[in-house]
């Protein structure tokens, strides 16, 4: 469970209420309620991006303190808990993976030495014993368009495959095979053809993968090794291998709370609360704009929605602070793959990322507008003062390294709001004093009106399908390949 944040938080309470707005913020002149929201935003961001939280690295003590702070805010707002431990959805995170001495490999009866001659690759399963015939599939590329079909005429079902880790013609910037340089897709393809294990090989030291195993929980599900010798002349051979990788784990924390309006479906409003931790030089990645600002906006939106239930009666509202965005979308990927779906039918998802730098153009950026026809309609119906937010720049596609994409991939219409990246993002210069809190208060107000609009547009209407069955219609999701086709 996350530790209590109070010992760290208490010293910031007084500070957060007396800090004045920067000159840039004052120039934007927030009024009345927005000025109060701006103060609240500053309070949230100041704490979440403080040195005490040490950059909120996933599964660190600082991330646990961040989760505890968000839990406390959810309780104060009156959100119901929605995690697997109260408000928390706890995740196991790899803290160490290391090949053990009983990992072994015999090729045609010849013993190879761990680390000297071979080693497990990061994609490898942590444990496995495989004995049998190995078949060499060359570069392991099956691409008719490139006129290379390594698997044609070869039955690898139940066998081990040997793959040259290089690509035809060598690795150069303009090589048409560059899309095949990575190992992951070649491993996936081998597995799809029924292979039980993969052994990459090369005698070229420049092509050796890292011998340090990545700290990942989900692997390829089968042994994957690298051999430091050229096996290109070996067509078939016998293999006897054992993989034994020690895995140590620690705990990371998504935080979930919801408003129950008695509606048939949920809307997700989310922001990631983790960041990059501490640099090798010992400097803290405070992550004020990225993404303490998104968490702060989510908390203020939760207050507003909780206070105005009549404006949001057509959906229930789930608020999620994700962990692990900076570690391959760990937190959102776990939830997006269906952990919550059996009990909670979701309608659509709104993600908040890096909202701290509304500039002089007063333009908000919105990603994912092509994945549901409702988004353009909703954005077109938002009425808001141009002196605050002049307009939005819409992009139909979602970047695949965003939490919004995790839910879209699972079939939910998903959209992302941001004020865009600036030079200090993902640096140790991303600090609370540089966030434009007045500008962010305008962004929060705009998104609030947008959510009012989508709730109204998504009012559940009864209709009759072709079989005469009464159905409920929610938002429609457009497949990603169609979005990409339209956007590019």
Residue 114 CB: number of other CB atoms within 10 A? Answer: 17
CATH class of 6-94+250-473: alpha beta
Q: What distance in Å separates the CA atoms of residue 292 and residue 357, rounded to the nearest whole number?
A: 12
Residue 52 CB: number of other CB atoms within 10 A? Answer: 16
CB 69 within 8 A of CB 462: no
CB 388 within 8 A of CB 362: yes
Per-residue pLDDT of 76-108, as tens digits, reads 999 999 988 999 999 998 989 999 999 999 999
> Which CATH number is associated with domain 118-228?
3.50.30.30
In this prediction, residue 74 carries a pLDDT of 99
Question: Are β-strands 461-464 and 104-107 bridged in parallel, bridged antiparallel, or unpaired?
Answer: unpaired
In degrees and rounded to multiples of 5, residue 286 shows phi and psi of -65, -35
pTM of the full structure: 0.78
CB 175 within 8 A of CB 169: yes
Spell out the residues 6+ positions from residue 287 whose beta carbon is closer than 8 angstroms to its own.
48, 49, 55, 56, 275, 276, 430
In this prediction, residue 218 carries a pLDDT of 85
In this prediction, residue 461 carries a pLDDT of 45
Nearest to 286 by CA among 126, 428, 182, 158: 428
In this prediction, residue 198 carries a pLDDT of 98
CB 327 within 8 A of CB 406: no
Q: What distance in Å separates the CA atoms of residue 410 and residue 406, rounded to the nearest whole number?
A: 7
DSSP 466: T
Nearest to 168 by CA among 149, 152, 184, 153: 149
- The domains of the chain are located at 6-94+250-473, 118-228
Percent of the chain that is helix, strand, coil (3-state, to 5): 35, 25, 40
Give me the residues of the chain with pLDDT under 50, please.
Answer: 11-27, 460-473, 480-481, 483-488
- Tell me the sheet residues that pair with 104: 242
Q: Give the three-class secondary structure for 5.
A: coil
Ranges of beta strands (E only) in 158-279 are 160-164, 197-201, 224-227, 236-259, 266-272
């Amino acid at each position: 469970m996350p530790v209590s944040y109070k010992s760290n938080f208490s010293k910031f309470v007084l500070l957060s209420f007396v800090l004045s707005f920067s000159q840039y913020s004052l120039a934007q002149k927030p009024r009345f309620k927005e000025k109060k929201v701006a103060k609240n935003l500053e309070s949230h961001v100041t704490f979440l991006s403080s040195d005490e939280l040490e950059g909120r690295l996933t599964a660190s003590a600082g991330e646990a303190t961040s989760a505890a702070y968000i839990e406390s805010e959810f309780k104060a707002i009156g959100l119901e808990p929605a995690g697997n431990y109260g408000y928390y959805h706890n995740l196991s995170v790899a803290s160490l993976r290391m090949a053990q001495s009983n990992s072994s490999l015999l090729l045609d009866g010849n013993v190879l030495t761990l680390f000297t001659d071979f080693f497990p690759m990061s994609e490898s399963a942590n444990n496995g014993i495989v004995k049998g015939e190995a078949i060499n599939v060359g570069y392991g590329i099956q691409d008719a368009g490139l006129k290379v079909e390594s698997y044609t005429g070869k039955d690898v079902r139940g066998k081990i495959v040997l793959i040259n880790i290089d690509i035809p013609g060598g690795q150069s910037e303009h090589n048409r095979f560059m899309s095949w340089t990575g190992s992951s897709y070649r491993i996936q393809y081998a597995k799809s053809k029924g292979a039980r294990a993969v052994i990459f090989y090369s005698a070229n030291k420049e092509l050796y993968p890292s011998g340090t195993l990545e700290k990942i929980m989900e692997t390829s599900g089968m042994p994957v090794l690298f051999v430091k010798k050229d096996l290109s002349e070996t067509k078939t051979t016998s293999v006897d291998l054992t993989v034994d990788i020690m895995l140590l784990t620690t705990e990371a924390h998504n935080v979930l709370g919801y408003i129950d309006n008695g509606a048939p479906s949920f809307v997700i409003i989310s922001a990631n609360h983790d960041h990059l931790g501490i640099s090798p030089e010992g400097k803290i990645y405070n992550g004020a704009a990225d993404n303490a600002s998104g968490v702060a906006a989510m908390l203020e939106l939760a207050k507003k929605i909780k206070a105005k239930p009549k404006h949001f009666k057509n959906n229930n509202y789930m608020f999620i602070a994700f962990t692990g965005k900076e570690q391959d979308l760990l937190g959102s990927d776990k939830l997006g793959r269906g952990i919550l779906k059996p009990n909670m039918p979701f309608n659509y998802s709104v993600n908040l990322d890096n909202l701290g730098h509304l500039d002089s153009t007063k333009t908000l950026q919105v990603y994912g507008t092509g994945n549901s026809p409702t988004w353009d309609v909703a954005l077109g119906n938002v009425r808001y003062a141009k002196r605050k937010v002049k307009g939005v720049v819409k992009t139909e596609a979602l970047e695949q390294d965003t939490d919004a994409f995790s839910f879209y991939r699972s079939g939910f219409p998903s959209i992302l709001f941001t004020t865009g990246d600036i030079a200090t993002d993902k640096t140790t210069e991303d600090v609370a004093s540089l966030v434009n809190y007045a500008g962010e208060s305008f962004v929060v107000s705009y998104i609030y009106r947008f959510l009012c609009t989508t709730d109204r547009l998504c009012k559940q209407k009864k209709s009759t399908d072709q079989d005469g069955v009464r159905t409920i219609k929610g938002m429609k999701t457009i497949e990603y390949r169609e979005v990409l086709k339209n956007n590019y």
